[in-house]
Amino acid sequence: MSRKVCQQRHGRSRQDSNSHPNDHLFSTPARAVIVQLLRGGFRPDASRWRGGIEGNPDVTISMYEASVGLFVPHLRNLSGLLDKGVAYAETRKFNPAVLLGMRLAPNMYDLAQQVGEACRHAVVAPALLAELEPVALPALEHDMAGLQARIATSIEFIESLPRAEIDAAAERNVFFRLKNGTELPFTGRALLLTFSVPQFFFHVTTAYDLLRHAGVELVKKDYLGRK
């Protein structure tokens, strides 16, 4: 039923995968052993090479890319969503803080809390991976300037975290502490894939949905980020 398509589209054929652009870094005997190892299924971790990594079929996704690399641009997008909410409120002549108290259901978080939760997940997960204390965020503000400051503080903090520590945390045991004190155990990888990334996108999306529901004219690119 399915068939191979677009074979012409990937630049490098699979047969090339046993040679590596950095082979010349090794002596001839060492290279001979490397070739044997590669033929036996042994693969270098390309992220350790200083050279380019294009075309290496074993390059995957780093823990940093799947945490800081996702959270920072989407926190910036979230900041942009709030800016559009403020502009809408000014046009319609109402206090932008009204938006921050809106909810999609009586027992769901309001917009300010959705922003707060997005920041919390974006800060706590990378901090756990880096084994550093998360930055202390103030009590939740129900004003736009306070929320923008919270987003900026969150971005500044997670951008300051050491990439190597985060990248090394895939198999490390981490414990996410819920607000009720319960500690959920994860490996670093499972923290991101089964908890923090879905949580983060939940709260950013719900912030978008709330603003759309309130009448703010947003488009999908405001959520995805403009290229």
Show contacts with its own copies in window 48-77 (CB under 8 A): 48, 53-63, 65-66, 69-70, 73-74
State in angstroms the smallest separation of the CB of 10 from its own copies: 4
d(CA 52, CA 6): 24
**82 touching its own copies, by CB under 8 A:** no
| Count of chain residues binding its own copies (CB under 8 A) | 80
152: how many CB neighbours lie within 10 A of its CB? Answer: 14
Tokens of 201: 């996108």
| Interface residue with its own copies, options 135, 137, 149, 152 (CB under 8 A) | 135
- Name the 3-class secondary structure at 55: coil
Answer yes or no whether residue 142 interacts with its own copies by CB under 8 A. Answer: no
Instruction: Verify binding: residue 208, its own copies, rule CB under 8 A.
Output: yes
Segment 167 to 196, residues that bind its own copies, using CB under 8 A: 167-175, 189, 192-195
Q: What is the DSSP string of 178-223?
A: PTTS-EEEEEHHHHIIIIIHHHHHHHHHHHHHHHHHTT----HHHH
- Using CA atoms, how far apart are residues 75 and 118, in angstroms rounded to an integer? 8
Query: Is 155 an interacting residue with respect to its own copies (CB under 8 A)?
Result: no
Min CB(9)–its own copies separation in Å: 6
Residue 21 in contact with its own copies, rule: CB under 8 A: no
Shortest distance, position 186 Cβ to its own copies, whole Å: 11
Does the protein bind its own copies through residue 41 (CB under 8 A)? yes
Residue 101 or 143 with smaller CB distance to its own copies? 101
- Give the residue from 56, 63, 76 showing the smallest Cα distance to 12: 56
Q: Does 198 bind its own copies (CB under 8 A)?
A: yes
122 vs 136, 144, 155, CA distance in Å? Answer: 13, 19, 8
For its own copies, which is the closer residue by CB, 29 or 138? 29
Instruction: Choose between 7 and 93: whose C-beta lies nearer to its own copies.
Output: 7
Contact (Cβ atoms closer than 8 angstroms) between residue 210 and residue 114 = yes
Sequence-ordered list of residues with C-beta below 8 angstroms from that of 63, at least 6 positions apart, any chain: 129, 166, 167, 168, 169, 170, 188, 189, 192
Q: Is 11 in the site for its own copies (CB under 8 A)?
A: yes
Is residue 24 near its own copies by the rule CB under 8 A? no
Instruction: Find the shortest distance in angstroms from Cβ 97 to its own copies.
Output: 21
Tell me which of 76, 143, 215, 221 binds its own copies, using CB under 8 A: 215
What 90-94 contacts at long range (C-beta under 8 Å, 24+ apart), as own/partner pairs, is: 92/215
